[in-house]
Structure 1
Amino acid sequence: MVTRTINQLHFEDLDPIRFEELILSMVYRMRRWLQLDHLGKKGSDDGIDIRAVEELENGKNKTYYFQCKRYCKITKAQLHKIVDDFLDKNTEIPDVYTLVISCPLSKKQIDDFENYAKNNGFTTISIWTNSIIECKLYAEYQDLLFAYFGVNLTEKRNRKINSMRRNIVFKKRMHNDFLKSAGCKDRIELDERLHSPMKKFNKSEVLIRSIDDSDYPDNTLLEKDFTGYFKAEVYNFYHNGLQVIIGVKDIKVRQYDEVDNDKFEVGIIRVLEIGYLPFDNIIDYDYDGDEYYMYPHLYCDFINRNDPFEKIGYAYEHSYGWMIVDDDLVIRE
C-alpha cells in the first residue's frame, strides 16, 4: 500500500522577523500572561526577542525570556556567544530562559549550552529546536501551521471523517445488495455457507473497472496488456472492504511439525489468491451490470498500476472450511 509523508518544515524560508512572529504566536497561547512583549521586531532587543511575565498564585511574578535564532546550523562557539551577548546587554537573569533555534542540536551541544548558561548565572534553561517547534505546531497549533506553512491538517482531518462516514453507509449498502437476505433453508445450506464464505453472496462474480478507463468495452479481457477492467469472484467481506478471488496458485508455506514440536517445515499448498479491495477504493457500483457483463460492476480507483487492492493474500481449503493463510507463514521468494 502506498503511503505519503509530509516533508520537514523549512523554517529558514521565513525571514527572521516572521520567524519571531511565529514563536510569539505560540508563546501567546502558553499562559495567561500578565505582560507579553515582542522586543526583537525593532532590532534592538538586547538578546531578548520575546519577554513574558506570569503572575503566580502567591502574587509574585515569573519572567520568561525567549531568544529566537533562525539558523540552518550552529557551532559551539556561536552557542556560547548567545549567552555572552545576553550578559553583556542585561543585568537581570530571567526565571526561565528559552533558546528557540530553527536547526537541530546534538545532545552534546544541548548539554554544553545548558552547562555554559548555568555556569554564568542562568537557573532554568529551555531549548526549542526545529523538531520541537514542528512537533508543537502539529500537535497544538495547527492553525499556525496553515497560516505560516500552508499545511492544512483540519482539511485532512475532515476528509478522514467524511471518508469514515461514507464507508459505514457504503458497507451497509453493499451488504444489503450483495449478501443473501434469506436464511438457510436446511442444514446442508448452512454447512455450505460456513465452509465457503462465498456461498452467502447473491452473485459469485464481479467486474472490477478502473474509473480512469475510457475504452470499455472495446478493450477486451483477452488482451495481455492492462485493459482497465478484469473479472473476479467474490470471496468475503472483511473489516475494511471486499475480498475477491483473482487467481489460483501454489505457494510455499511454513507448516508446524507436530512430531518435532515448535519446528516448522516448508510445504507447498494450492491456494486462492485474494485481493483486498478497501471501501475507500470502491467509488461506486452498478449491481445489474450491462449487456456485456451481466453481473455487478465495481468502479474503482486503481491505486496501483493494474489494480485497486491494498494488499494480496491467500486462502486455502481446510477440513473446517476455507481459511485465510497467515502472512507470517507465507514464504515470499
Structure 2
Amino acid sequence: MATHQLPQISNEDRFESLVCDLFNAIDSTNTYKRFGRKGHEQKGIDVFSSEKDVVIQCKKKDLSRREIQIRRELMNDIEGDINKIISKGLNIKFSKLYFTSTYKDHPDIDEFCELIKEDKKLEFDVIYWGWDTIEEKIIDKKELIEKYFGHFVVKQDSKEASFLKNLDLKKKIEREFGDWLNYFPEDRKRRSRMILRAFDGTQYPHANEADEYGEYSWFGAEIKGLYYQGMEFIFGIEEIKVYDDNTWDFGERKEGKDFREVKVARVGQINFSDILDYDINGDEHYICPHIFCRFKYKGLPFEKVYFYSLEKGSSEYFELE
C-alpha cells in the first residue's frame, strides 16, 4: 500500500499521458506511446510499446460513486476491451495487457483478471494496476511528480507517521476501554456489545441489513480484545464439523469420515489503520461504544476472520483459507 496520497488525476487525457510517462520511466525507455486519441479507433488500448510487448488501457473513474459500482464497471470495461482487442484484430504483438485506473487496488479485480484469462484462453497476461500501485511506482520519480502534481511535497517520514498514529490509537484504546480489555468476558461489569459503523455509511440508525449491493454500513458485535495490530470482535456463533484429519467445514457430513461438532465464535479483526475514531458513550439509539471504521473488505471492516472453540478448557482456533 502506498505511504503517500497523491491526488487522483481528474482529466482523462492527462491520466493517459501520466501512465505513458510512468511506464517509460519504469522500463527506462521512450518506446511507450499513446495509441491515438479520443475520436480515433483505439481497438481497446490507449498506450503501447512494441519493444516491450505491452499494451495498456487507462480507466479514469468518477470516485464519488459507491465502490461496488466502480468495481463492477471496471470489470465490465475489462471484459469489453478484451473482446474489442480480439474482434478488431490488433496488429501489435504483445504479451501483457495492463488495465490502469484512478480507482484503488482491489483483490476482486485482480481475481477477475485471472479468471478472464482462463475463461477466454488468452495467450497474454491481464494485469490490473489501481491508484495504490500507481502511487507506489511514481512516488520516487521526481520529474513525474513535478510534471503532474505541481506543488505536492513528498514527506519522507510518512511511514513513521502512520506507525505512530496507530500506536497512539492503541494506547488510547487500552486506556479508555479498560472496563472491557482488563477482564475476561464473563467478569466484565459492562456489556461487551458495541456498534461497528462505516464512517461514510447512510443506513444508521435504520435497519442494518445488507443493501442492494450486499454491503452493510453498521451492525452490533461483542468486543473480544486486542491483537498486535488492531481490535477483535465476535460477530457470530457457529457450529462446525471437525474431522480426524483436522480439516473442518460448515457443510454436511463427509462420507466415510468421523467428526465431532464444535461450537465456535466467529471473530473479526479490525486493523488500527481502518479505525477512524470512536464514541465511547454512544447515542440515544445505542448507549454503548460506537467504532467508526472503513468497511472496505467486501462490505465489512475485518481484514481477517477466524473461529475459536467455545468449549470449556479448549484453546482450538480455526482459520479460513
Q: Scaled by the length of structure 1, what TM-score is found?
A: 0.45
Q: Larger Cα Rg: Structure 1 or Structure 2?
A: 1
TM-score, normalised by the number of residues in structure 2? 0.47
